[in-house]
Structure 1
Amino acid sequence: MAYNCQNSRILAPDQKFISSSIRTIKLTQKPTSVMVWGAITSDGRTPVVFIDKGVIINKEVYVESTLENALKPWAGKRFNGAHWVSQQDSALSHKAKMTSEWLKLNVPEFISTEEWPTSSPDLNPMDFCIYGPS
């Protein structure tokens, strides 16, 4: 007899061999979560920016809390005037015109949403190197 809850499995010849305390696994409908922002380069990463609980990331919040207050000062120190390129994923706040305008004024070069193929999965290093499978 096998009991399975996602990746937790208990194998036993009969249910009587399994303690009742571990037969039922309690799950929460809405687990605790945290939203963060970060950026990586070939030789380093930004400090992680924790987004306050309940904050909805729209274009104004994204530009102010992450680009202006985190990326700009970090990149100024990190690259010290050297050329660098910014690449984002396709989140709505990243694709917003306000965000593109900020990037044009503050970043030496960035990959715009027009340069991404349509209906293409994001080819974002953060998805593969930071959050993806190890």
Structure 2
Amino acid sequence: MESYMYKDILEKEMLPSGRSQMGRGWLFQQDNDLKHSSQFVKDWFAQRRVNVMSWPSQSPDLNPLEHL
């Protein structure tokens, strides 16, 4: 999947669902996959005023197997 396909999914599924079910002030969470962190997608979020949770690129929470 590339960032353009990801943007289409966000626009058709996530945005309407988030706004209708969560109301104002909701926060979107995603990992730092390349398609998620592309400038194209970041600009899309900014234009639509979607709050995105910052996520550190080396977060140990992303891989629970590291703790075994």
TM-score under structure 2 normalisation?
0.73
Per-residue deviation, 1:98: 0.8
Alignment of 1:72-91 (within 5 A): 72-80=15-23, 82-91=24-33
Stretches of structure 2 lacking an aligned partner (at least 5 in a row): none
Q: Do residues 58 (structure 1) and 2 (structure 2) align? A: yes
Q: 1:79 to 1:119 in 2, by over 3 A?
A: closer
Structure with more relative contact order (C-alpha pairs < 8 Å, separation 6 or more): 2
Q: Do residues 70 (structure 1) and 23 (structure 2) align? A: no
- Cα RMSD (Å) of the superposition? 2.2
The answer to which structure has the higher helix fraction is 2
Mark the structure with the bigger radius of gyration.
1
Q: How far apart, in 2, do the equivalents of 1:76 and 1:84 lie?
A: 8
Q: Which residue of 2 aligns with 1:101?
A: 43
Number of aligned residue pairs: 63
Per-residue deviation, 1:101: 0.9
Give the partner amino acid of 1:61: M
Per-residue deviation, 1:103: 1.2
TM-score under structure 1 normalisation?
0.41
Per-residue deviation, 1:79: 2.1
Identity of aligned residues (%): 24
3-state SS of paired residue (2:35): helix
1:120 equivalent among 41, 53, 59: 59
